[in-house]
Structure 1
């Protein structure tokens, strides 16, 4: 019996050590708040950078884009999530702001938001070493609208053009470019490529959103943002007269085959009770990735709604960050550590 107990104790120790390599113990952070990484049309783009206070350097990096229907919130709503990921995993976390539709006097367009997301990645690649991060091990993540931006970094990181969202190609000019480099030169070397993505109840179909009334006055997000409703790409542009604009920023219309372009691994998840970005749309996106032979993991979390990664406590999910978000983020940590390993 003693030998059996010894063997069981040894087995439990091995399992415990094995689990700890995926979800590590909590450690202290070094915080760099409101670091300006670029400026776009006079709008200052900033980030909060969370660095694990550990001896190990050259750590993988996680770039975070907040949600809010492209109209609301700032990086602060992802503060709890960013700190959790940095303290529970050996990751340098970069929580970024991007322009919202209502910024610059309600003139920002959806393509410019994608350009901010791409610019943040390029800035991280140029500057993250000074914060202990590895520019060759970068993951992007975002929830809801931020998930759409993270997905577009993965799917459109090679579609960089100095003319930006113009002509027939509808490319993107990042809000930050490496010194003395054009968008075309960066694209030629696949300079915006990342190594992983975690898409949290993301928005995948902007064309359907445009057709479904996102730009109409009865969309409460415009009211909450205290802004006049308009087209995502400007007054007079709609999903009816310019469907190509909306599809160009929609992940669901942008999935390449593996032969065309191999994508990095993606972890896609959504709550079973999510009414804003429902499971069937996420499932459709994942099915397209699988059909294209692209690496993807997918999970539907039973009983969860929308926005459960938000900082603090909220009424719409009837709970707080710790109980709502951390079990899911532990799964994300396992995925990222496995991918970067």
Structure 2
């Protein structure tokens, strides 16, 4: 009888703990907050705040996918709201410039600078929304996963000259008042606690060599833009590989005893033909070899873009069904990172 009572109590404890961790609650929205205006192009973000009793909450910054040419933050709204509803984590869903923006002149390094700038904006401003600037994670899917990875691994490679001079560095689109890119780098001001990389791009050298910059890439057509190089001008992957390496997360991985990178959760769908399980696994193995913290999962039966909002034909389903069990795994990872 005593054994039965102990087991029953344990069951009730586990059930209660699980319901507390995943119980749905209301969220408060701040939409279309302008965080920067590079070259006159307005960049906005959405903030979703869990209406819980915790006064200072961790933050998850989200970057949407779309091949650096398509979509906006709305395609990540379901993910942002789902996580904010089920956790004690504020979500910040970010717009960044696309290659076709500003009359098809935006370069991929400027997009990375937007991602870095958005995280710096969050660190500088999130206290006003009840967020903790010292507890920040990033995530993104596909091209957004590439941006999240760049924030996680390349945040110390900052330079006020950006890509205008060599060595190539990043000048974040947003900087705290009176602070230079070099000062941010010296203080490791872009340091975050974790990154969730959803079927992300890890090498833009590989991407460019797959005819990304040519007419064979239908994303240019869908964006109603003329195909061109990611960096504009005469820069190409064969003659100028250093430019493409500089925007590739797999080029910034170092041994953990030299610099401890944020914890990373890398995942991909079994049927993904764009970010294949093999490509994702190669990145993970590289991290493991360097003794960096990483976890990896392949989701059976899933293709590319299964975390997109609403319903879509390319995955034959809707977010509510397609996103599970991935979102639950993401929440579990974040709760452990933030000690929730």
Q: Secondary structure at the match of 1:64?
A: strand
* Residue 5 of structure 1: how far off its partner (Å): 4.1
CA deviations on 1:211-269 (whole Å, 9 max, x unpaired) are 11001101111111111000000032110111000011111222111133210111100
DSSP 3-state at the match of 1:146: helix
Q: CA deviation at 1:3?
A: 4.5
Q: Which residue of 2 aligns with 1:74?
A: 72
Partners of 1:75 and 1:64 lie apart in 2 by: 8
Give, in angstroms, the shift of residue 6 of structure 1.
2.9
Distance 1:240 1:325 in 2: 38
Q: Does 1:326 align with 2:324?
A: yes
1:111 to 92, 109, 112: 109
Q: Report the counterpart of residue 7 of structure 1 in structure 2.
A: 6
Q: 2: distance between equivalents of 1:10 and 1:55?
A: 27
Equivalent residue for 2:15? 16
Query: 1:282 maps to which residue?
Result: 280
SS of residue in 1 equivalent to 2:35: strand
Equivalent position to 2:251, from 235, 240, 253: 253
1:265 to 263, 266, 269: 263
Q: TM-score, normalised by structure 2?
A: 0.97
Deviation per residue, 1:87-143 (Å, 9 max, x gap): 001011000000000000000001000000000010000100111100000000000
Instruction: Output one character per residue of 1:299-322: Cα deviation in whole Å (capped at 9) or x when no partner.
Output: 011110000000001111111101
In 2, Cα distance between equivalents of 1:59 and 1:222 = 39
Give the corresponding residue for 1:136: 134
1:57 Cα offset (Å)? 1.4
* Mapped partners of 2:4, 2:258: distance in 1: 55
**Equivalent residue, structure 1, for 2:99:** 101
Alignment of 1:212-227 (within 5 A): 212-227=210-225
Counterparts of 1:331 and 1:64 in 2: how far apart (Å)?
A: 16
Structure 1 counterpart of 2:188: 190
Corresponding residue SS for 2:322: helix
CA distance, structure 1, for counterparts of residue 17 and residue 120 of structure 2: 34
Aligned length: 339
The separation in 2 between residues aligned to 1:169 and 1:58, in whole angstroms, is 39
RMSD: 1.1
| Contiguous gaps of at least 5 residues in structure 2 | none
**Residue 326 of structure 1: CA displacement?**
3.4
- 132-141 or 166-175: bigger deviation: 166-175
What is the rounded CA distance, in whole Å, between the counterparts of 1:284 and 1:44 in structure 2? 37
Q: Report how far residue 323 of structure 1 moved.
A: 0.8
**Greater Cα offset, 175-184 or 245-254:** 245-254
For residues 185 and 113 of structure 2, the distance between their equivalents in structure 1, rounded to whole angstroms, comes to 13
Structure 1 Cα separation of the partners of residues 273 and 93 of structure 2: 26
Q: Does 1:209 align with 2:207?
A: yes
Aligned to 1:308: 306
Can you list the C-alpha shifts for 1:29-78, whole angstroms capped at 9, x where unaligned?
Answer: 11000000111111111000001112211100000000000000000000
Q: Which residue pairs with 1:296 in the alignment?
A: 294
What residue number does 1:48 align with? Answer: 46
